[in-house]
């Protein structure tokens, strides 16, 4: 009896995994949106002020470089100042709030990604995980958990997966393949607070 139930659960997870793989852009967008929100939430607000200072210094170096160019202040100075300007401008540009790097945009993007996934799995009868966790790696790892005998059904497998992901932190060493999987799915669990 238990074996039949386990086989049905494994088949259900495998079919759901194949269904998700048909629209890789949807689950990839969900994963990327969660990763971006997690990164934004963890970055120190003081970094934005530092980035602004760096960009302003880059702008000042750029302006002085132009001044040095027009007054013929020396050949090496141009490269130094234009180089510094480029370094400062590019170093600071990724941290500063922009139209696509601010809290509202990032949260809206995550909400849209979840809604898009909800829409996609709505037609699938009895999808095994909530839309905010709908990723083939999640389903694959749940299958592995069940095959190892660590869970008897799908809800248990999801709880074990959550527990496994919580236990993984920067001090835990894993193989490259597992690292890539964890990096793809853990932000989805973190931004949803493992609910």
> Predicted confidence band at 195 (pLDDT cuts at 50, 70, 90)?
confident
Contact (Cβ atoms closer than 8 angstroms) between residue 146 and residue 10: yes
* pLDDT per position as a tens digit, 145-194: 999 999 989 999 999 999 999 988 878 888 888 889 988 999 999 999 88
Where are the domains positioned within the chain?
A: 2-43+100-191, 47-93
Q: What is the mean pLDDT of residues 89-102?
A: 64
- Using the predicted structure, report yes or no on whether residue 99 has a pLDDT greater than 70: no
Percent of the chain clearing pLDDT 70 (strictly above): 89
State the pLDDT at residue 122. 92
Q: Measured between alpha carbons, how far is 135 from 30 in angstroms, rounded to an integer?
A: 8
Q: Measured between alpha carbons, how far is 69 from 58 in angstroms, rounded to an integer?
A: 16
> Helix (H, G, I), strand (E, B), or coil: what is residue 72?
coil
Contact (Cβ atoms closer than 8 angstroms) between residue 78 and residue 65: yes
> Predicted confidence band at 50 (pLDDT cuts at 50, 70, 90)?
confident
């Amino acid at each position: 009896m238990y074996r039949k139930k386990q086989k049905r659960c494994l088949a259900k997870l495998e079919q759901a995994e194949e269904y998700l793989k048909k629209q890789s852009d949807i689950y990839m967008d969900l994963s990327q949106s969660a990763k971006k929100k997690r990164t934004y939430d963890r970055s120190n607000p003081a970094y934005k002020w530092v980035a602004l200072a760096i960009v302003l210094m880059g702008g000042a170096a750029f302006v002085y470089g132009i001044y040095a160019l027009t007054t013929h202040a020396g050949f090496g100075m141009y490269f130094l100042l234009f180089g510094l300007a480029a370094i400062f401008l590019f170093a600071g540009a990724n941290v500063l709030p922009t139209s696509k790097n601010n809290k509202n945009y990032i949260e809206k993007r995550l909400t849209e990604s979840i809604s898009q996934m909800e829409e996609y799995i709505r037609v699938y009868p009895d999808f095994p995980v909530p839309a905010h966790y709908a990723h083939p790696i999640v389903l694959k790892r749940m299958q592995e958990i069940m095959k190892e005998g660590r869970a008897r059904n799908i809800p248990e497998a999801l709880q074990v997966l959550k527990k496994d992901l919580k236990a993984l932190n920067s001090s835990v060493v894993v193989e490259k393949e597992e690292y890539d999987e964890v990096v793809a799915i853990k932000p989805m669990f973190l931004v949803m607070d493992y609910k």
